């Protein structure tokens, strides 16, 4: 099938569904109103609670939920075929992921900007809140620990991306100062910031930086330490200092990257055709787990991801200025992520066929190129393998526009690393909120301080990262659990949204209830299969943690069902 036709049809579908389904949910289900005072105004403090125009908060929210998620998931799930991967991305993002993100955002905004863990007590009970806190802390613990390594791997693979990524921080701080302190035009200065950003990309191409070992610590360990220190600093600063302006730049970077990819698809299509060389459906690839249920666990970001509910009810709910903006921010961001995941599928299913270098210097094309990269599950499953499939495939398509492939590789490397950095410091900030809420409930006031809570968040992540040695790869011990934990959280968040809507009468609850049933079934199926696999391999650590996840998931599902059938309708709020 022609990749150009696939891209155009899918993008039209996203636009139509935003205008029809998204607006229906906003107006008829959640009944957004400008009369509702948002937490950003009610608790404005200039640090976390800051009323923000929707374009900027869209940039923050989108770059925070994305990270490398919509890249690595589709880049490996395409091994089951591009058709199931694309169907899950499109349907999942429109009727599940966007509802999940949007619903979590609205409920948090109507509950003083509290996290989904905190307001679970209101819609289910306090016991469930405790279990929710445990699974949320576990997810964020893994995310913070692993994303330092993720960025370190990207820096190692694409050393030309190092300088642009770090210079972007300086550019973002200047942008924030000029807009928030000097009152300058956000449009003018953000355009200038993006121009400077791409100048640094060219500079990075000519000045690649490779991290040496330091005091016996290998490069990945050194980068992990530096990045976790950065995450601490970024997460305690006011959001207007770094988080918002950096994410706004990243959102522009996304638009540029997406535009280059789209133009690349057109250019490649009209210069000889851009065919999908990946198989349409491949149910039994070598050494891969079964497509059902693991397709729905492998592709999380891009379809539906529990991490998004933490961003929606963590940082974003504290910055949305007008409740009406939440449709654009919450629902729109998820569809944009679905569009990005679609481009990833096209890059790894078609772009990689334009040229793939193998050991020995040979360059393969067409089906041979795809088969070389996706020869088996183990060949395609590594982090570097997933990232390189997307970056190389994207660079091939962008090079069709006439841009040198070397520059295209740097652009996409910086794009991936920048988004991973956003996820790292947003996750750290959210973990700080979670820790503060936990100790606030326990009446331990000193541990709710933002510096102390952040120290706990970063310190615990540091312990996990270096649990297996100086490489910083300790979190890889728990990484096999992440997909199932993340999607379990998505199912549990949908249960809370369902109960919220059930209280408001009628059949509104079905827009979240049906996705909740689907996700609960798929994730429980996956974690139970994982438990069997971990038992066979005698991995006691993964068996224990995965067993805890199973107990928590079943407990919350049962508590949710009990609450659902005992809930009576209340007035709209």
What are the pLDDT digits (tens) for 63-96? Answer: 889 877 888 889 889 999 999 999 999 999 999 9
High-pLDDT (> 90) share of the chain, %: 66
Q: Which of 107-116, 346-355, 561-570 has the lowest mean pLDDT?
A: 561-570
Q: Report yes or no: 323 and 33 within 8 Å, Cβ to Cβ.
A: yes
Tell me: pLDDT of 572 over 70.
no
Would you say residue 137 lies in a domain?
Answer: yes
Would you say residue 405 lies in a domain?
Answer: yes
Instruction: Categorize the per-residue pLDDT at 299 as very low, low, confident or very high, splitting at 50, 70 and 90.
Output: very high
Sign of the Cα torsion 564, 90, 84, 59 reads: negative
Q: Which pair of structure tokens corresponds to residue 148?
A: 């330092």
For residue 503, the enclosing domain spans: 3-566
Residue 423 CA to residue 248 CA, distance in Å, equals 14
CA distances from 438 to 20, 185, 205 (A): 39, 40, 45
Would you say residue 334 lies in a domain?
Answer: yes
Tell me: pLDDT of 234 over 60.
yes
Supply the pLDDT for residue 379. 62
- Element of type H or E holding 356: strand 356-357
SS (H, E, C) 19-74: HHHHHHHHHHHCCCCCCCCCHHHHCCCCCCCCCECHHHHHHHHHHHHHCCHHHHHH
> Alpha helix locations (H) across 67-185?
69-77, 82-92, 98-109, 116-123, 126-157, 162-176
Would you say residue 573 lies in a domain?
Answer: no
Quick one: CA torsion of 425, 426, 432, 437, rounded to 10 degrees? 180
Supply the pLDDT for residue 573. 47
Residue 57 dihedral angles phi and psi, to the nearest 5°: -70, -30
Would you say residue 226 lies in a domain?
Answer: yes
Burial class, 473, CB count within 10 angstroms (exposed 0-12 / middle 13-18 / buried 19+): buried
Supply the pLDDT for residue 570. 61
Q: Which pair of structure tokens corresponds to residue 66?
A: 């994305």
DSSP code string of 364-412: E-HHHHHHHHSSSHHHHHSHHHHHHHHHHHHHHHHHTTT--HHHHHHHH
Would you say residue 378 lies in a domain?
Answer: yes
Residue 261 CA to residue 241 CA, distance in Å, equals 31
Tell me: pLDDT of 453 over 50.
yes
What are the pLDDT digits (tens) for 378-411? Answer: 665 566 677 788 888 899 999 999 999 889 989 9
Residues 6+ apart with CB under 8 A from 157: 384, 387, 388, 413
- pTM exceeding 0.85: yes
Supply the DSSP symbol for 217: B
Supply the pLDDT for residue 339. 95
Name the 3-class secondary structure at 125.
coil
Residue 442 CA to residue 438 CA, distance in Å, equals 6
Supply the pLDDT for residue 337. 95
> Alpha helix locations (H) across 271-382?
291-298, 306-312, 326, 332-349, 366-373, 377-381
Supply the pLDDT for residue 254. 83
What are the pLDDT digits (tens) for 22-40? Answer: 999 999 999 999 999 999 9
Mean pLDDT over the full length of the chain: 91
What are the pLDDT digits (tens) for 305-336? Answer: 999 999 999 899 999 999 999 999 999 999 99
Residue 245 CA to residue 393 CA, distance in Å, equals 30
Tell me: pLDDT of 9 over 50.
yes
What are the pLDDT digits (tens) for 159-218? Answer: 999 999 999 999 999 999 999 999 998 889 988 999 999 999 999 999 999 999 999 999
Tell me: pLDDT of 278 over 70.
yes
CA distances from 497 to 140, 187, 293, 320, 325 (A): 21, 36, 23, 19, 19
Strand partners, 363: 357
Q: Would you put residue 538 in left (φ > 0), alpha (ψ -120 to 50) or beta?
A: left
What are the pLDDT digits (tens) for 251-265? Answer: 888 888 889 999 999
Would you say residue 572 lies in a domain?
Answer: no
Name the 3-class secondary structure at 214.
strand
Would you say residue 571 lies in a domain?
Answer: no
Name the 3-class secondary structure at 357.
strand
Q: Which pair of structure tokens corresponds to residue 449?
A: 């301080």
Supply the pLDDT for residue 204. 93
Instruction: Categorize the per-residue pLDDT at 421 as very low, low, confident or very high, splitting at 50, 70 and 90.
Output: confident
Instruction: Categorize the per-residue pLDDT at 569 as very low, low, confident or very high, splitting at 50, 70 and 90.
Output: low
Supply the pLDDT for residue 149. 85
Supply the pLDDT for residue 229. 96
Supply the pLDDT for residue 357. 80
Supply the pLDDT for residue 380. 59
When divided into structural domains, the chain yields a total of 1
Please count the other Cβ atoms lying within 10 Å of the Cβ belonging to residue 137: 17
Supply the pLDDT for residue 571. 47
Mean per-residue pLDDT, 492-512: 94
């Amino acid at each position: 099938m022609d990749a150009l036709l696939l891209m155009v049809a899918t993008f039209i579908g996203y636009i139509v569904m935003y205008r029809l389904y998204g607006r229906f949910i906003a107006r008829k289900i959640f009944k957004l109103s400008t009369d509702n005072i948002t937490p950003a105004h009610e608790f404005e403090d200039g640090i976390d609670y800051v009323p923000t125009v929707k374009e900027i908060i869209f940039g923050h929210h989108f770059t925070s939920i994305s990270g490398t998620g919509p890249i690595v998931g589709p880049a490996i799930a395409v091994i089951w075929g591009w058709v199931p991967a694309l169907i899950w991305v499109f349907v999942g993002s429109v009727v599940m992921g966007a509802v999940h993100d949007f619903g979590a955002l609205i409920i948090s905004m109507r509950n003083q900007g509290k996290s989904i863990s905190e307001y679970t007590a209101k819609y289910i009970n306090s016991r469930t809140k405790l279990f929710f806190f445990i699974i949320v802390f576990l997810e964020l613990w893994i995310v913070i620990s692993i994303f330092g390594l993720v960025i370190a791997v990207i820096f190692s693979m694409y050393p030309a991306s190092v300088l642009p990524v770090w210079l972007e921080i300086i550019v973002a701080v200047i942008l924030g100062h000029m807009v928030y302190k000097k009152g300058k035009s956000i449009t003018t200065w953000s355009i200038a910031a993006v121009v400077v950003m791409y100048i640094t990309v060219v500079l990075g191409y000519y000045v690649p930086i490779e991290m040496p070992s330091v005091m016996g610590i290998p490069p990945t360990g050194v980068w992990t330490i530096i990045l976790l220190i950065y995450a601490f600093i970024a997460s305690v600063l006011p959001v207007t200092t770094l988080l918002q302006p950096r994410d706004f730049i990243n959102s522009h970077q996304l638009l540029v990257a997406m535009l280059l990819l789209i133009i690349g698809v057109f250019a490649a299509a009209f210069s000889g055709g851009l065919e999908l060389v990946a198989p349409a459906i491949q149910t039994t690839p070598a050494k891969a787990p079964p497509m059902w249920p693991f397709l729905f666990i492998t592709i999380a970001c891009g379809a539906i991801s529990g991490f998004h509910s933490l961003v929606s009810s963590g940082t974003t709910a504290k910055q949305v200025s007008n409740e009406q903006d939440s449709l654009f921010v919450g629902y729109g961001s998820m569809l944009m992520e679905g569009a990005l995941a679609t481009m990833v599928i096209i890059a790894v299913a078609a772009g990689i066929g334009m040229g793939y270098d193998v050991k020995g210097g040979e360059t393969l094309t067409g089906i041979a190129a795809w088969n070389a990269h996706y020869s088996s599950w183990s060949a395609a499953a590594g982090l570097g393998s997933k990232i390189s499939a997307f970056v190389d495939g994207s660079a091939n398509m962008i090079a069709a526009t006439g841009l040198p492939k070397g520059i295209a590789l740097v652009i996409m490397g910086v794009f991936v690393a920048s988004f991973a950095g956003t996820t790292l410091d947003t996750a750290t900030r959210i973990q700080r909120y979670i820790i503060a809420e936990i100790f606030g409930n326990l009446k331990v006031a000193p541990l709710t301080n933002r510096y102390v809570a952040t120290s706990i968040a970063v310190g615990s992540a540091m312990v996990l990262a270096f649990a297996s040695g100086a490489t910083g790869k300790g979190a890889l011990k728990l990484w096999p659990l992440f997909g199932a934990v993340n999607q379990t959280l998505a199912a549990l968040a949908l249960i809370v949204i369902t109960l919220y809507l059930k209280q408001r009468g009628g059949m509104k609850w079905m827009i979240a209830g049906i996705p909740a049933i689907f996700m609960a079934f798929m994730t429980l199926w996956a974690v139970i299969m994982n438990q069997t696999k971990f038992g066979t391999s005698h991995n006691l650590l993964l068996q224990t943690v995965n067993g805890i996840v199973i107990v928590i998931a079943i407990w919350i599902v049962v508590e949710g069902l009990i609450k659902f059938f005992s809930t009576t309708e209340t007035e709209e709020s």
